[in-house]
Structure 1
Amino acid sequence: MWLNNILETIGNTPLVKLNKITEDLPCTVLAKVEYFNPGNSIKDRMAVKMIEVAEQEGKLKPGGTIIEGTSGNTGMGLALAAIIKGYKCIFTTTDKQSKEKVDILKAVGAEVVVCPTNVEPEDPRSYYSVSKRLATEVPNSFYINQYDNLANRLAHYEQTGPEIWEQTEGKVTHLVVATGTGGTISGAGKYLKEKNPNIKVWAVDSYGSLLTKYFETGEIDMKEVHPYITEGIGEDFVPQNYDMSVIDKFTKVTDKDGAVMARRIAKEEGIFVGYSAGSALQGLFQLKDSLKKDDVVVIIFHDHGSRYVAKVYNDQWMMERGFLDVKTFKDIINGRGTKRLITVQPTNTVAETVELMQQYDIEHIPVMNGNGPIGSVSENGLFQKVFNNPDIKSEAVENVMEKPYPLVAFETPVERLSSLITKENGAVLAKDEKGDYHIVTKYDVLQSLAK
């Protein structure tokens, strides 16, 4: 049996047990993997629902234009629905969102306006304000407003909550959501608590968001608000979709912890998730002391990792922000003490070089002149040459030397070093801050990775 259009594939996403990454938790953890929706995120659910309600209420008319401020995923859901239903789309987003998200929105026919992140919501340049302004300027348009449009949480009350209840056969004890607009946690949480009031609903927030402080005190404290990198969660205002009475606890997760955890999920569970899924699981770990053996935790994995390839899954981006704890050439050198670099001059003999190798128990020696490295000699290479011609021992090294070792930056990651060290090229060199040369061999790399 076929489906009539792509929108009919939304929902009924799988619930997948996490194993390796949660082995230290006392309970069962099940991930609701929402990237199986056609737009690769949970936002497809509420995007279609908001359009349907707007149509029913006469706010969205045939041939109209949908306008929305989005971090990317809601826009994707709206764009898919617009294609099927015959609407145009104009989306505003922030300059902190990944380029992939913007490109994807354009690929499905949307017009995208990128706005600055670090401005107040009321600022006329904010993506909230720009979307509202466009709704007054564009004829036959409707501003969806996912933050205050209660069809958002209705979608999760009608769909996400019932799916979780049925898939766990009513055994769910906790729902964990990294929350932004409040629709998922309020809608699904409300449904689940109606089925079992003892179910705990935990919200995961980001540092730089005011939601946690508001939940705890009822106070909107703008001092809590500061720029943060995590995408799709947290807010600098309180959307109307929040029903705080449904939520039992909030916890905040750092930008770094969320990004690192997302990468772990991909590597340890084979589930290629986005930034907010990493934050959600990190938040669960932060609350693990409240968990018991028989608990069944359902955690929302909001979207797909392909939206974050240039960010969370890019080593350089992670390292630039101090999110990736990687060992470098410098770490290897610092870890082995004050050993000096053994070198030879081009005029040194092969016999002298072999003697140095034996004296210092080393396999690789750079050949240096006053300008730096000009070649190299290796134990294996010399052995072959001396074996074939014993008289070569009296010759100058410059007559038998091999090509120089690659010269790399002192902060080069170990993973990069391992790709530069080959059978033909047994070491790499780097200069420290003082201008002194150091060498790293395959043996050094293996020792470093084993620690």
Structure 2
Amino acid sequence: MLPAKPPVHESVLDAIGGTPLIRLAALGAGLAAPVYAKVEFLGIGGSVKDRAALAMVLAAERDGLLRPGGTIVEATSGNTGIGLAIVGRQRGYRVIAGVADKASAEKSDILRAYGAEVVLAPTVVPMEDPSHLYHVVRRLAEEIPGAWLADQYDNPANPDAHIRTTGPEIWDQTGGRVTHFVAGVGTGGTITGTGEYLKEVSGGAVTVVGADPESSIYGGGDGSPYFVESIGHFVHPDTVEDRWPESYRKEVVDVMEQIPDRESLVTTRRLAREEGILAGPSSGTAVAAALRVARELGPDDLVVVLLPDSGRSYLSKVHSDAWMRQWGFLEESQDEASQARRQGRGQESQEGEPQGLRPLLDGAGPVVAVHADATVGGALETLDGAPGGVAPVVLARAARPYGVSAIEVVGSVSRDALVAALADGSAKPAAALGALVGPALPTVGVGQSVAEARAALGATHPGVLVLVDGRAVGVLPRTALVG
């Protein structure tokens, strides 16, 4: 029997949606319930956000918000901007994408390739900070004549796109057999719209599962930074009012699975190596959650997990061994399959654990950090327990349950510098640290070698900050590395 004839389209916009389901036979081996991946990166723009982009532009045109010759402006981690660039340029609009400065470089390159203008802005600042990406794009939309802010976080056309397309596709593709739908939560549009449709058409029988980075606020985390792009909800410690997107209706989600960064990233890499599916890290988060859910199900159940985007946008990050080791997600002698088995089965065996820098950290205790708003006197008290009298300076005012994220480290401070400043009168005990904060310590992953740590140390740094899963676990002073 010949396969179905591939569709013929008059425009790339007609090719948005209609992505296949692929069974995860390798990662799902041994599970009674089948797990199928909705591979959204096979869409025309390489991500699920094409659907929302098209829906938002068409709605804006219909409502008179976007007129011929206008400009589309949006804040994006990359994917929505790419979708808007494709749709917008096809329909004759200028497109400006405000991109988070922590997003992968590949995404900005792709945006420019599609003809969008890219403006980089920070997101690891308080929401009230005028330099925050949220405010940057709003100023652009106000200042440019004929500009329209897509505002995916609060635009009802975002979840509506999935009510009309993604949900019906999954229901039809599974013949109504789907019992569990798993997706990450970013703007919330995908899980809200798809989940709402599947619940309605199934009479409430479909369970909707949110996959969330462990420290994300959505799933009950502490709001500290994480290393999975495009999903979750980070809250800067100085943010006054936390605001959730209107595109996300949390009542649609029945269960939230909190996935540690390492499990997300390792699962992403296993998707490529064992399933032949090169996806982004948020796909790894969703698949890790789907596998957790499927382990508790039977043969009458069917799990569909949505994979939002392609791994081609993350070749310099999750799919790079060097990047994974640099941030402490890969360790020498520890293969990813054994990591995944321990995470999936709850095994605690340390057999075959790597060496790397771990032996040098033995007995060092938890990392000692000085908070950015500390006084000189307070910092000195904290430094009493710091190895080598040096400590990172961090954004968080109080200890976070998941530890200090490397993203929150803004500098370093040494006991010698503070004592000298007090002695010569240039600082007082009650004064803020201010200019006494030095450059941030160089970071090394726990799986890197002593030679690599020495290279990072250089000739002037007093120590290095050692990372496990992107979080600081200790400081190795110069004396511990060079003797």
Per the normalisation by structure 1, the TM-score is 0.70
Q: Kindly report which structure 2 residues correspond to 1:279-294, keeping only aligned pairs within 5 A, or say none.
A: 279-294=285-300
Deviations 1:357-396 (A, max 9, x none): xxxxxxxxxxxxxxxxxxxxxxxxxxxxxxxxxxxxxxxx
Residue 173 (structure 2) aligned to one of 145, 167, 172? 167
Cα distance change, pair 27–84 in 1 and its aligned pair in 2 (3 A): same
Partner SS for 2:151: coil
Structure 2 residue 111 is matched with structure 1 residue 105: yes
Q: Which residue of 1 aligns with 2:305?
A: 299
Q: Which residue of 2 aligns with 1:429?
A: none
Partner SS for 1:324: coil
Give the aligned residue type for 1:243: R
What is the percent sequence identity of the aligned residues? 43
Residue 215 (structure 2) aligned to one of 190, 208, 215? 208
Partner SS for 2:219: helix
Which segment is superposed worse, 148-157 or 289-298?
289-298
Structure 2 residue 137 is matched with structure 1 residue 139: no
Cα distance change, pair 229–332 in 1 and its aligned pair in 2 (3 A): closer
1:208 is displaced (CA, Å) by 3.3
1:122 is displaced (CA, Å) by 2.8
In the alignment, the residues of structure 2 paired with residue 296 and residue 49 of structure 1 have an alpha-carbon distance, to the nearest angstrom, of 29
In the alignment, the residues of structure 1 paired with residue 37 and residue 354 of structure 2 have an alpha-carbon distance, to the nearest angstrom, of 37
Partner SS for 2:98: strand
In the alignment, the residues of structure 1 paired with residue 330 and residue 165 of structure 2 have an alpha-carbon distance, to the nearest angstrom, of 37
Partner SS for 1:83: helix
Q: Which residue of 1 aligns with 2:222?
A: 224
Residue 63 (structure 1) aligned to one of 56, 63, 69? 69
Q: Which residue of 2 aligns with 1:309?
A: 315
Structure 2 residue 184 is matched with structure 1 residue 183: no
In the alignment, the residues of structure 2 paired with residue 60 and residue 35 of structure 1 have an alpha-carbon distance, to the nearest angstrom, of 27
In the alignment, the residues of structure 1 paired with residue 160 and residue 61 of structure 2 have an alpha-carbon distance, to the nearest angstrom, of 15
Q: Which residue of 1 aligns with 2:255?
A: 249
CA contact (8 A) 1:96 1:229 kept: no
Structure 2 residue 11 is matched with structure 1 residue 5: yes
Q: Which residue of 1 aligns with 2:51?
A: 45
In the alignment, the residues of structure 1 paired with residue 291 and residue 126 of structure 2 have an alpha-carbon distance, to the nearest angstrom, of 32
Structure 2 residue 265 is matched with structure 1 residue 259: yes
Deviations 1:143-198 (A, max 9, x none): 00000001000000000000000000000000000110111111011111111111
1:37 is displaced (CA, Å) by 0.7
CA contact (8 A) 1:181 1:241 kept: yes
1:254 is displaced (CA, Å) by 1.7
Which structure has the greater CA radius of gyration? Answer: 1
Structure 2 residue 35 is matched with structure 1 residue 33: no
Partner SS for 1:149: coil
Q: Which residue of 2 aligns with 1:233?
A: 231
1:137 is displaced (CA, Å) by 0.8
1:333 is displaced (CA, Å) by 11
Q: Which has the higher helix share?
A: 1
Give the gaps of 5 or more residues in structure 1.
Answer: 214-222, 335-407, 413-432, 436-451
Which segment is superposed worse, 59-68 or 128-137?
128-137
Deviations 1:313-371 (A, max 9, x none): 1111000111113329x96999xxxxxxxxxxxxxxxxxxxxxxxxxxxxxxxxxxxxx
Q: Kindly report which structure 2 residues correspond to 1:190-201, keeping only aligned pairs within 5 A, or say none.
A: 190-196=196-202, 197-201=204-208
1:228 is displaced (CA, Å) by 1.5
In the alignment, the residues of structure 1 paired with residue 38 and residue 148 of structure 2 have an alpha-carbon distance, to the nearest angstrom, of 31
Per the normalisation by structure 2, the TM-score is 0.66
Deviations 1:386-427 (A, max 9, x none): xxxxxxxxxxxxxxxxxxxxxx97679xxxxxxxxxxxxxxx
Residue 79 (structure 1) aligned to one of 81, 85, 106? 85
1:134 is displaced (CA, Å) by 1.0
Q: How many residues align?
A: 333
Q: Which residue of 2 aligns with 1:122?
A: 128
Cα distance change, pair 285–138 in 1 and its aligned pair in 2 (3 A): same
Q: Kindly report which structure 2 residues correspond to 1:330-341, keeping only aligned pairs within 5 A, or say none.
A: none
Cα distance change, pair 326–150 in 1 and its aligned pair in 2 (3 A): same
Give the gaps of 5 or more residues in structure 2.
Answer: 1-6, 235-242, 335-352, 358-447, 453-479
In the alignment, the residues of structure 2 paired with residue 293 and residue 121 of structure 1 have an alpha-carbon distance, to the nearest angstrom, of 46
Partner SS for 1:54: helix
Which segment is superposed worse, 231-240 or 1-10?
1-10
Give the aligned residue type for 2:269: R
In the alignment, the residues of structure 2 paired with residue 323 and residue 63 of structure 1 have an alpha-carbon distance, to the nearest angstrom, of 47
CA contact (8 A) 1:72 1:97 kept: yes
Structure 2 residue 327 is matched with structure 1 residue 321: yes
Q: Which residue of 1 aligns with 2:274?
A: 268
CA contact (8 A) 2:186 2:233 kept: yes
Give the aligned residue type for 2:283: A
